[in-house]
Each structure stands twice: as structure tokens, then as C-alpha cells.
Amino acid sequence: MTSSTAENTRTWSGLTIPTAGTYELDQNHKRVGFVARHMMVSKVRGEFAEATATITVGEDPLQSSVTATIQAASINTGQADRDNHLRSGDFLDAEKFPTLEFRSTGVKSHSGNEFVLVGELTIRDVTRPVELEVEFEGVGRSPYGQDIFGFSASTEIEREEFGLTWNVALESGGVLVGKKVKIEIEGEAVRQA
């Protein structure tokens, strides 16, 4: 017998949020994407097809935590040669460093349904602090009786700080690949316990 959605939600700071528990990122309802500048004039978008995350919702929601693992080789920009280059030693070096890792260290602030989640991102064995701007999208129950909540998150990193320094100078000035990368995450999380 499943419990009702009302038993698995609560009101906090004007929001209906999940009760404390452990949630896993739904593999069928997620996007771990990024945007980088190309030749100083356009944007290239891509995503990582394989990513997992565990979200622990705390009794005090501001004590909630997240851990995530992204498979570097699952990168996809829709262009095979570029994807292979991004997997190579010039960029992610996916064979030597198969995963990108994130671990939250706290919630810095919140306003309404928007939170700033601080944590550590590891790429190529280089760990740097990051701040994710997280939007809590709401709670619900799937047609399969699963308690879920939705969220989106974004941040911007300087790729060279993680050892991703490969580039080509352009005759017209500037570089082939921009130094800043925007990370965009959308997802649903499913209650496990």
C-alpha cells in the first residue's frame, strides 16, 4: 500500500516541499547540459547522457545535500568528431578521468523557490568550489505511485581552472573555444526512502 502525497509533503517557507528522505535522479527525466562559446561568435550546446545523483532532503531543508556523478565519455554535442575531441586528453581525458563529480557542502541562501547551493566540482582530479543557482519546481506523485520533485540548476565555470586549457588562437583575434562554460541541469528526483 502506498501512502498519499500529502503524507510525503510539508509546508516550509511558503513552499510545499518533500518530507525528509532520500531521492535519486530519474534517468528518464533529466538533462545535464552545458553551453560554451565557439570562435567568439556562437554557442555550442551539449549534454552528458549518463549522470546519477542522490539528493538527501533534510528535516531542516537548508541542511539538504546532493552528490552527483557524471560519466565523462557520455558527452554529446551532436557532432562525433567534436565529441571525440572533448573526450580526449585535450579536454576531459575520459579514459584517465572517467567521471566528473559534485558534492554539495551547504545551502548558502534561499528566496522563495530559489536556492544557492554551494559545493565542490571535480573535473580531471581538480576540485574547485562552485555555486549552483537552484530553482525548486514542485512536488507530485507519478502515475506509478512514486513521490517526485522537480528542479533546475545552473552555474558558470572557468574551464581552465579545471585543467581544460586546450585552445587555438584565431587570426581575427580571440580563441576557438571560450573559457567560460555554463552548466544547465533539469531533472526529477524520485523518493527512495
Q: What is the pLDDT along the chain (193 residues), one digit of tens a residue?
A: 344 556 899 999 999 999 999 999 999 999 999 998 877 777 989 999 999 999 999 999 999 999 999 999 999 999 999 899 999 999 999 999 999 999 999 999 999 999 999 999 999 999 999 999 999 999 999 898 999 999 999 999 999 999 988 877 767 776 677 889 999 999 999 999 7
Q: For the beta carbon of residue 63, count every other beta carbon within 10 angstroms.
A: 12
Which of 176, 173, 150, 184 lies closest to 46 in space, CA to CA?
Answer: 184
101 touches 130 (CB < 8 A): no
pLDDT at 6: 64
Buried b (16+ CB within 10 A) or exposed e, 10-25: beeeeeebbebeebeb
CA dihedral (129, 159, 183, 85) positive or negative? negative
pLDDT at 165: 86
127 touches 163 (CB < 8 A): no
Phi, psi of 161 (to 5 degrees): -65, -20
118 touches 106 (CB < 8 A): yes
pLDDT at 86: 93
pLDDT at 169: 76
Look up the CATH architecture of domain 5-191. Beta Barrel (2.40)
**C-alpha span between 8 and 69 (Å, rounded):** 27
- Per-domain residue ranges for the chain? 5-191
CA Rg, the chain, in Å? 18
**C-alpha span between 147 and 17 (Å, rounded):** 11
